[in-house]
Structure formats: structure tokens, C-alpha cells
Amino acid sequence: MLTRTQSTPARLTAIATVKPPRLALFALCLAYIVFGLFERDPWKTDDVVWLATMLSALDLGGSAWLMPQVGPMAFAQDGPLVMWTGAGLIRILGPWIGDIVASRVTNLVWFCITLWSMWYGTYLLGRRPEAQPLALPFGGEPTVKDYGRMLADAALLLLLATVGILIRLHETSVVPAIIAWQALAYYGLARMLDKPLQGSITLGVALACAFLTRAWPGTLPILLAVPLAFRPGSALWPSRRWMLLSLLLALALGLAWWLPSKRLNPDWMNAWAIWNASFFGVPDLDAVLRPMRDLPWFLWPTWPLALLALWQWRHWINAPHIWIPLAFVLGVMLMLPVTTEHSEAEYVQLAVPLAVLAAFALPTMRRGVVNTLDWFALMCYSVTITCAWLGWIALHFGIPRQISINIGRQTVGFEPHIVWSAVVAGLLVTLTWVALVLWRVRVRPTVLWRGSMLCAAGITMTWVLLVLLWMPALDYVRSYRPMSAQLRTVLTELEHAVGGPVCVRAQGLSLGPRASLYVFDKITFTYDSTCPYALQLTSKQQLEDGSAGYSEGATVLWQGSRGADRFDRFRLLHIGGK
């Protein structure tokens, strides 16, 4: 174990660890998660599918509470924890704030767990002797508490600055929850260094929750990371016996759901097992290369800093502040080669450990490199904020013309209208960014977290601007609500005409449209092949060239599409007669 007198790559003074204003930090986190979470419809696919499972549990009851369903259709994948949390919040808060808004309170829960776990885990590791900066000849180095707090603040800000997780954290899906359990497992291991019992229980709960959230694809990265973190010679090795308690607790909690579900609906559980098995295998070449293409932008800007941390701390690789987050990175990277299809649900599990490693790179960086991060943030996000306003001007005023034409092509049928309250709020956000730029240019602060603060604030303010200025257009393009209302009207008229309820089959419908129709208007589909009515998903091209199914011998009762969708077309057909 290192002492304060031994050389480390960390070099900084006490003035560099002055904490950021807590109110500003809390306001930034709140703005990040709240904007874009409410005041919009659920979008396909994950966003609306998990809302549909929550509503199905409330509507159908019984086994729908144990095993997720989308209406009468089994949704045999992942796990029930997100559904349980969302359905419970809908039952409690739905009568006051509405079902959709209540379901999204779950995102606030996952976000708070993520930030709390990550902050305190990094704070614990940052206070350890191995992580401390070099003691200065005449004093002036930061206190242990201030240093740990600075690293925890920087890790939090770098997580917020991670580009790829921004939209996913605002979806009602398993993704925000699996990030939370990854962070909680990280905190559990950090806590186990000084309080093994508390840390082992936390780790066991995190493992169980990851399993109940996303089954084995969500659990395996943590299961791989844990033995790596406890490897011989690591700081956790003396506490290895506590790992058994974590595994037993996770097993007990997982079986508490699995056993009754298997007894109640073995078919659902068999389909769930098949989904888990199909997730793992030998990927094709495209799947192998996809992470190399996607991860650099998805994990920007933390991955270059994380690599720098590994290089700067290479002689201290066994120190817990490097080895524990690195174990979580390795856990994900070891799983990717045996995953048949890589998606953002796997990539997001790298966000927390890389942000932690990136934070530990900051004390090792020279002033010129830190300034480079500052100026990158200033230039990059000044451009994105300008582009948000430029697109809004093009949408509403038609200039620049080419941008206006491109936007119009994507929003056919949308009638733009100016919401002046949103415009005023957008101007205030822009002025806040200008004030941050002036603070950096004129004050030239020496605090080490300034670059991560600028990155986090830049991406947050860009996102807030997009929500304020662009949400009506985005909602029009991505929401199924208007189409669902049209179809419900036609079905209601049809029910009046035939004197009773009508059945509808689904022909070519994917999970997203099915879930959307259920969420907005409780439209469900039968598996009865003799049902004379079918909702068909086809394409504009197939309709034009006559290759759509049932083109002959069926009566088209209704045809529609989602917003400005240029490709998909939905048709309600009466098959077998007029």
C-alpha cells in the first residue's frame, strides 16, 4: 500500500480541488434528467414497450404482474423489475399526474441510484492512500476529503457528458435501470474495502436487481467483473469470503421470482430461457466490428481520458481506484465477443466505470492538456447550441433554405407554431452557456473539474434547447398517438355497424406499433386465424407496385401512417368479402 510520501502520477494543489457550487451541480443534474422526460408521448420501441408492460400488469393482473406482457402477447425477455416499479408508480401517482408521466418517475429513481452510487463509490476510492496526490515540498496539497470529493464530482460530471447515454436515460426501458445496478455494484465493491458486510449486501442486491432487470445479459458483465476485482493481490482479496454472501443473496432474490413464474407459466419461462440462450453465441463479422465503429462516439469524451488514466497509473494498476472500475470495463468487454447482437443496452454498461477512470486521469494531466479539454468543450457545444437555434429558425422562417427543405422532408404534414415561453426559456439557457464561456475565458479558473463541468453543461444545455425548441416536431414524427386515434375511431364505427366487439389480427406488425396501439387506445390483437379483420403493416413501395399482402380479395377499411413516416403504411383490412 502506498503512503503519502511515495510518488504517484497525481499532481495538484488544494486550490484545484475547491468544490463546485452544490446548488449549481444539483440544478445541472436535475435539468439533465427532467427535460425530455415529460411532456412528450412514448416513442417506439423500448420506450413504449415497457410502458405497455406496466399498463398490462395493471389491466390484466394475475401472471401479468410476474411475467411481462404487451396486452395479451407474452414479452418473454429481460425481467420484471422495471415493470414492477413502473406499474407501482402508475397505481400510486397515475390518478394525479397521468399514467405516462407516472411511469417516467422510474427514470428519476434509476438516475438517483446511478449518481448516488457512482459519487460515493468514487469518493471512497479517492480517499484511499493509493490514490492520493504527491505531497508538495512546502505543503499546499489538498486534504484527503477535498481530493475525494473533487474526484467524485468529476466522475459524476463526466458521466453526464457521455454522449451515448443521453437519450437512453430518458426512455422508459431497462437501459437506465441496468446503468443504476452497474453503479450500485461498483459502490458495493468500493464499500467492501472498509465495510465488508455492508458492501457484500449491496453487491448482492445489485446482482439480483440486474438479473431481474435484464436477465443474464444484464447480470453477466457484473458476474465477470466481481472475480476479477477479487483476484489474488488485489485490495479486495482479503475480503473474498464476503463474495459468497453476495452470490447467495443474489441467488435467493432471483429464485424468489423465477420459481413461482416457472410454476405458474412454464411456456413463458421456456421462451424467456430461449431468448437468453439466443443472446449468446458466436457473432458474425459485422457484429464483431460494430463496437469498434459505435463505441468511440457512444462513450465520448470519457474513453480517451480513461485510457490516459490507465497509462498514467500503469504502475499502480492493482490500486483499487484503478482496478475496481477496470474490472467492470473488462467484464463488459469479455461479454461482447460471445454476444450475437451488440446494442446500446450493452454499451451503456461501460459508461460508469469509464467515467470513474476518466476522473482519475484529471489529477495526472498537465495544464495544457486540461486546457485542451476546456477549449474542446467550449467550441464543440457552442456549435451544437448554434445549430439548435439555426434549425429552429429554418423550421419556422424557412432560412437557410436548404436546411429548411431538409427539415420539411422529415416533417411532412407538421404545422410549426412558435411557443414563446419555450423560446424565452431557450434564450435563458443560451445566455447561461455564454456566461459559462465568459467565466472560463475571463476568470481562468484553476479548479480541476472545470473541463468536465463545461462538457456536462454543454451537452445538457444542448439537450435542453432541443427539448424546448424541437420537441413538438420530434413528437409529431415519432409518436403513434394520432394514428392510433384514427384506428380506434374506425374500429368503434365498425363495432357499431356489426353490433358488438370486433376481433383484429396483426399481419407484419412489429412490437413497437403493437405496444403503441395498446398504450394509447388499448387496441389488442387476436391469434384466431378465422378473424376477418387484420391490421397490416406494409410499405409505401409495396402498395405502389402491388406486392403488399392481401392486395386482392380484401377490402381496405382504413389506411394511415405515423406522422411523417415516408416508408411504413398501415391498413385495416376486411379479408374474404366486402
**Res 4: pLDDT:** 42
Q: Read off the pLDDT of each residue in 284-296 and give the average, rounded to a whole number.
A: 86
Q: Read off the pLDDT of each residue in 284-295 and give the average, rounded to a whole number.
A: 85
Pair 86, 106: CB distance under 8 Å: yes
Q: Among 155, 213, 152, 158, which Cα is nearest to 182's?
A: 213
Beta-strand pair 533-539/505-507: parallel
Q: Among 433, 435, 419, which Cα is nearest to 461's?
A: 433
d(CA 63, CA 260): 10
Q: Read off the pLDDT of each residue in 80-94 and give the average, rounded to a whole number.
A: 97
pLDDT tens, position by position, 366-386: 888 888 888 989 999 999 999
Q: To the nearest whole number, what is the mean pLDDT of the chain?
A: 92
| pLDDT bucket at 2, cuts 50 / 70 / 90 | very low
Look-up of cell digits 492512500: 129
pLDDT tens, position by position, 171-230: 999 999 999 999 999 999 999 999 999 999 999 999 999 999 999 999 999 999 999 999
Q: Read off the pLDDT of each residue in 487-492 and give the average, rounded to a whole number.
A: 95
Pair 302, 358: CB distance under 8 Å: yes
CA distances from 529 to 73, 220, 368, 383, 504 (A): 16, 40, 70, 55, 10
Phi and psi at residue 107, to the nearest 5°? -65, -35
Beta-strand pair 73-74/69-70: antiparallel
342, 348, 350, 351 alpha-carbon torsion, rounded to 10°: 150
Pair 236, 322: CB distance under 8 Å: no
Percent of the chain topping pLDDT 90: 78
**Res 138: pLDDT:** 62
DSSP 527: -
pLDDT of 551 strictly over 80:
no
DSSP 16: G
pLDDT of 96 strictly over 60:
yes
Q: Read off the pLDDT of each residue in 51-72 and give the average, rounded to a whole number.
A: 95
CA angle 144, 149, 153 (to 5 degrees): 155
Q: Read off the pLDDT of each residue in 353-368 and give the average, rounded to a whole number.
A: 93
pLDDT of 3 strictly over 70:
no
| pLDDT bucket at 1, cuts 50 / 70 / 90 | very low
pLDDT of 253 strictly over 90:
yes
Q: Read off the pLDDT of each residue in 274-286 and give the average, rounded to a whole number.
A: 90
Phi and psi at residue 575, to the nearest 5°? -95, 135
**Res 6: pLDDT:** 54
CA distances from 404 to 401, 409, 417 (A): 5, 9, 15
**Res 566: pLDDT:** 80
Q: Among 47, 39, 31, which Cα is nearest to 170's?
A: 47
Instruction: Enumerate residues 6+ apart whose C-beta is below 8 A from 124.
Output: 148, 187, 190, 191, 193, 194
pLDDT tens, position by position, 319-341: 999 999 999 999 999 999 999 88
Q: How many CB atoms are located within 10 Å of the residue 485 CB?
A: 13
d(CA 465, CA 422): 9
pLDDT of 5 strictly over 50:
no
Beta bridge partners of 534: 505, 573
Report the phi/psi class of residue 524: left, alpha or beta, with left for phi > 0 and alpha for psi in -120 to 50: beta
* Full-model pTM: 0.95
pLDDT tens, position by position, 396-411: 999 889 999 999 888 8
**Res 123: pLDDT:** 98
| pLDDT bucket at 76, cuts 50 / 70 / 90 | very high
Cis before residue 45, ω within 30 degrees of 0? yes
Q: Read off the pLDDT of each residue in 293-304 and give the average, rounded to a whole number.
A: 94
pLDDT of 578 strictly over 70:
no
Instruction: Enumerate residues 6+ apart whose C-beta is below 8 A from 243.
Output: 200, 203, 226, 227, 230
pLDDT tens, position by position, 33-43: 999 999 899 98
Instruction: Enumerate residues 6+ apart whose C-beta is below 8 A from 492.
Output: none
pLDDT of 535 strictly over 70:
yes
| pLDDT bucket at 13, cuts 50 / 70 / 90 | confident
